Amino acid sequence: MSFLELREVRKSYAHHPVVHGIDLQVEKGEFVSLLGPSGCGKTTTLQMIAGIEPVTQGRILLDGRDITDTKPHTRGLGIVFQTYALFPHMTVADNVAFGLEMRHRPKAERQDRVRAALALVKLDQQGQRYPRELSGGQRQRVALARALVIEPPVLLLDEPLSNLDAKLREEMQFELRRIQRRVGTTTVMVTHDQSEALSVSDRVVVMQAGRITQVDTPARLYEHPGNRFISTFVGKANLLPGQWVDGERGPGVQIGDLHLAAPDLAAPAGSPVLVALRPEKLRLQPAGQGLLQGRVLECFFLGSQWLYRLQTPVGELLLVTPNDGRPALAVGDDSGLDWPAHSVRLLPADAAEALA
Amino acid sequence: MRQGTPWLLSAPAMALFLTLLIAPLALTALLSFNVFDEVRGVQADQYTLRNYLDLFVDPYYWGIFWRTFWIAGLTTLICVAVGAPEAYVLSRMRAPWRTLGLLVVLAPLLVSVVVRAFGWSLLLGPEGPINQALSLFGIGPLRLLYTETAIVIALVHVMLPFMVIPVWTSLQKLDPSVEQAAASLQAGPFTVLRRIVLPQVLPGILSGSLIVFGLAASSFAIPGLLGGRRLKMVATVVYDQYLNELNWPQGAAVALTLLLANLVVMLSYNRLVERRYQKALG
């Protein structure tokens, strides 16, 4: 049985449902992210696990014990809040020691564990300072140390990196993952940032409008998005509506005049489908060659990559290519395009429209 | 011109401040050193320290100053004990009730202090509703009117908004997730209140108690109406000196001594508390 389990958990505010029955199992030591746009119910779900928001219906089990109706201060979970929620009137060391003090640990043990926790987040020199004397990244690490020092069964992170600037956010992503690996605490993180979710999680739970729509490892989620929304929310995607055909040219999708071979896929003949192609799976070919011809409409230099917007017979396509020293295309240039057949993804057209 | 702009902009306020506060205060200070003659009145060209000396040697004045400050101190203490929890409860109320509650707290400010004092004298009188209610339980009649108790009760009633509002303001600044964080670290509701909320609203309590103490120590209408002729506080003595004894220099000396004593008490209290929490609260 899994360590943390949500069974049909629902939440309504005054008969207005915001979370419609969530089932989720988290294994011991796992790092799971709840990913979704704002208003999808991910934070509410986290707050129900934390006990801050009461559960309207359903059960939450921790290590086989039903904690649905227990008070937050008896659950003993470690929580890192979006605003960090440090105690402004206490030093960093006192902030971290607070949870141990509440558990009536002896003073010597408290000091040792606080020191170890601060060393873990590389703040051993800042123990006697006050939160407002620290930078955003340091505050974030104090919050993490404060949550981890009590050795909680589950660590809950509510948008922990959203208040940091881009560079620091990237550093902290990896730092977070490194610390979580070392400590081995089961972790549930809420985020609206897909790259954050992909880079640190063992599994990503995508939520849309109060429902879970896909649960997968980051790589599988990226390569096999379950619907149209996920394909564009997690990374970028070119979406092309077409029709499934299985004629003399083999199984594939007919998009206008173009027959797009998809040997590994299957769908009912004649049914409308949506083709998803990742921009980085497209490859530039000399003009006149490849599967498709396009003309550059716009190009953006991203440092390590080039991003092109191309006009093709099947519509506009985005293409990302590494900046590997080959001469770049300019606006108005013609180019051929191709892609490996196995990188073509099919999304059910009807369901996709309904969710989008 | 650039340099003068701030001065120019604050000139109207400065003018108001100078004519309405500094000038009368300076004149009062001057007056307090004038000689008073029972027959010929104030001698504007003769100066003496007698008016102040009298205050320091006459036990009559000691008693009045002592009463004034303990009444102001007790009023402040009760206002902290009642006002701080009241502000906390108000801040936790839901939308329509919160506004209503705040209105009830502020309502005393909308009624003239004289009217309120008369209201209390009706309530506290020997035949008043409070004594009538007490007599149902076989208690009393208690002498409430014209006692220090009556003054403290009425002062607390008047001063409560001045405590609730600053505490309320500092409660509004608290991040609610800080309390949730404390709860997640297994602090019970009472511990959260004592260890997390209270230290953070301390600046509000501090400024509230400074306002309440200052206003209570210099209050005039309530001790005048509820203390009767016998129970004097400093402000009522000043009034007596000016209007009954016609000894203006003595009245001015009492008034200035009250101002100074008030300043000393408030500043030392402020420093004491601020030094202790300066580092944490900035």
- Whether B186 has its CB under 8 Å from any CB of chain A: the answer is yes
Domains and CATH numbers, chain B: 48-281 (1.10.3720.10)
pLDDT value at position A352?
A: 42
Whether A179 and A148 have beta carbons less than 8 Å apart is answered as: yes
Strand duo A16-26 + A65-66: pairing: unpaired
pLDDT value at position B191?
A: 93
Task: Quote the minimal CA–CA distance from A57 to chain B in Å.
Answer: 22
Average pLDDT, chain A: 90
Chain B partners within 8 Å of A79 (Cβ):
180-181, 184
pLDDT value at position B37?
A: 85
Q: Which residue is associated with the tokens 């409070």?
A: B130
Q: What is the mean pLDDT of residues A156-170?
A: 87
Q: Is the pLDDT of residue B41 over 90?
A: no
pLDDT value at position B1?
A: 56
What is the C-alpha separation between A270 and A248, in angstroms, rounded? 14
Q: Is the pLDDT of residue B6 over 50?
A: yes
Whether A71 and A51 have beta carbons less than 8 Å apart is answered as: yes
Each residue of B126-162: pLDDT tens digit?
A: 888 888 888 888 887 888 888 999 999 999 999 999 9
Each residue of B247-280: pLDDT tens digit?
A: 999 999 999 999 999 999 989 988 887 777 665 5
Inter-chain touch B186–A89, beta carbons under 8 Å: no
Chain A partners within 8 Å of B279 (Cβ):
130
Which structure tokens are listed for A252?
Answer: 């594939």
Q: In a mutagenesis test of the B interface, which of A62, A67, A86, A89 is the best target, namely the one with the most B β-carbons within 10 Å? A: A89
Each residue of A85-134: pLDDT tens digit?
A: 999 999 999 999 999 999 999 999 999 999 999 998 889 899 999 999 99
Q: Is the pLDDT of residue A243 over 80?
A: yes
**What separation in angstroms does the CA of B25 have from each of A65, A249, B14, B249?**
73, 103, 15, 13
DSSP 3-state of B143:
coil
- Whether A14 has its CB under 8 Å from any CB of chain B: the answer is no
Inter-chain touch B279–A130, beta carbons under 8 Å: yes
Pick B181's closest partner by Cβ from A75, A85, A130: A85
Pick A132's closest partner by Cβ from B185, B188, B282: B282
Q: What is the mean pLDDT of residues A306-313?
A: 92
Task: Quote the minimal CA–CA distance from B74 to chain A in Å.
Answer: 28
- Whether B198 has its CB under 8 Å from any CB of chain A: the answer is no
What is the C-alpha separation between A44 and A336, in angstroms, rounded? 48
Q: Is the pLDDT of residue A66 over 80?
A: yes
Inter-chain touch A75–B178, beta carbons under 8 Å: no
Each residue of B228-237: pLDDT tens digit?
A: 878 889 999 9
Q: Is the pLDDT of residue A325 over 90?
A: no
Inter-chain touch A74–B181, beta carbons under 8 Å: no
Inter-chain touch A130–B280, beta carbons under 8 Å: yes
Q: Is the pLDDT of residue A78 over 60?
A: yes
Chain A partners within 8 Å of B177 (Cβ):
81-83, 85
DSSP 3-state of A100:
helix
- ipTM metric: 0.80
Q: Which residue is associated with the tokens 């010597």?
A: A108
Q: What is the mean pLDDT of residues A180-193?
A: 93
pLDDT value at position A355?
A: 43
DSSP string, A111-167: HHHHHHHHHHTT-TT-TTS-GGGS-HHHHHHHHHHHHHTT--SEEEEESTTTTS-HH
**What separation in angstroms does the CA of A254 have from each of A245, A261, A272, A318, B7?**
6, 9, 10, 20, 79
**What separation in angstroms does the CA of A314 have from each of A199, A340, B263?**
33, 17, 83
What is the C-alpha separation between A330 and A295, in angstroms, rounded? 10
Least confident stretch, A254-268, B46-60, B159-173, B231-245? A254-268
Inter-chain touch B186–A50, beta carbons under 8 Å: no
Whether A279 and A286 have beta carbons less than 8 Å apart is answered as: no
pLDDT value at position A349?
A: 65
Q: In a mutagenesis test of the A interface, which of B185, B273, B281 is the best target, namely the one with the most A β-carbons within 10 Å? A: B185
SS3 content of chain A, % helix, strand, coil (to 5): 30, 35, 35
Which structure tokens are listed for A268?
Answer: 């009912």
Chain A partners within 8 Å of B191 (Cβ):
102
**pLDDT above 90 coverage of chain B, percent:** 55
pLDDT value at position A171?
A: 86
Chain B partners within 8 Å of A77 (Cβ):
184
Chain A partners within 8 Å of B184 (Cβ):
50-51, 72-73, 75, 77-79, 147
Whether A61 and A5 have beta carbons less than 8 Å apart is answered as: yes
* For B202, nearest residue in chain A (alpha carbons): A89
Each residue of A14-46: pLDDT tens digit?
A: 889 999 999 999 999 999 999 999 889 999 999
Phi-psi category of residue B177: left, alpha or beta, with phi > 0 → left and psi -120 to 50 → alpha:
alpha
Cis peptide before A218 (omega within 30 of 0): no
* For B179, nearest residue in chain A (alpha carbons): A85
Chain B partners within 8 Å of A73 (Cβ):
183-189
Inter-chain touch A73–B184, beta carbons under 8 Å: yes
Note the pTM of the prediction, 2 decimals: 0.81
State the DSSP code for A328.
P
Q: Is the pLDDT of residue B281 over 70?
A: no
Inter-chain touch A88–B182, beta carbons under 8 Å: no
Q: How many CB atoms lie within 10 A of CB B232?
A: 21
Pick B185's closest partner by Cβ from A83, A88, A150: A150
pLDDT value at position A356?
A: 40
Task: Quote the minimal CA–CA distance from B167 to chain A in Å.
Answer: 17
Q: In a mutagenesis test of the A interface, which of B186, B200, B206 is the best target, namely the one with the most A β-carbons within 10 Å? A: B186
Inter-chain touch A89–B178, beta carbons under 8 Å: no
- Whether B173 has its CB under 8 Å from any CB of chain A: the answer is no
Each residue of A254-288: pLDDT tens digit?
A: 888 788 877 777 777 778 888 889 999 999 998 88
Q: What is the mean pLDDT of residues B25-51?
A: 89
Which structure tokens are listed for A210?
Answer: 């109060």
